[in-house]
Amino acid sequence: MKKEDIIQKLPYSKPFLFVDEIIEIDDDHIKGGYTFLNDEYFYEGHFKDNPITPGVILTECMAQIGMACFGIYLLKGKWDEGEWSVAMTSSEMNFNKPVFPGEKVIVIADKVYFRFNKLKCNVVMYNADDILVAKGVVAGIAFKK
C-alpha cells in the first residue's frame, strides 16, 4: 500500500485532518508529519494575542498518524473490504513544549501490539528543531460500519 493511499483512506477531512505526509512505515513503526497552518480554526481565542496549538489537537495529530494511518497499513488491505472506520479508545500524553502556528511536527509511533483490530502505540512528537514536544500512548480500534 502506498503512503499517499493511506492518507486518502482516513475518515477525516479538512479542517480536522492533521496528516500531511507519511515519511516511513513498516510493521513495527510509522513516522509522519504535519504543519499547523497559521489560520487553523482553533487558534482563534486559544490564547489571546499568543495562539498555541491545543493539547487535544496535538493528541489528535499523534493519533491520526500513530494510530489511524498505522492501523490502516497494518490491516493489510482489509480496509478496502467494506466500510471501515477507526476510533481512539485511550490516550495518555505528556506535553513538553508548545506548538505555535506555522510549525511543522514529526510524529513517530512504535507498535506495542496489534490484535483483534486494536492497536496500541507509544508515540512521540518533535518540532522542526528535533525537540520533543509531547510523548505518550495512544490506542484505538478499527471497526466495520
3 state SS of 26: coil
Among 121, 132, 126, which residue's Cα sits nearest to residue 64? Answer: 121
Among 100, 90, 98, 101, which residue's Cα sits nearest to residue 132? Answer: 98
> Per the residue annotation, which of 3, 46, 118, 135 is the catalytic one?
46
Q: Tell me which residue has cell 498518524.
A: 65
β-sheet bridge partners, residue 111: 121
Rounded to 5°, angle at Cα 32 from 23 and 135: 140
Rounded to 5°, angle at Cα 121 from 56 and 138: 25
Active site residue 29: no
Catalytic amino acids?
46
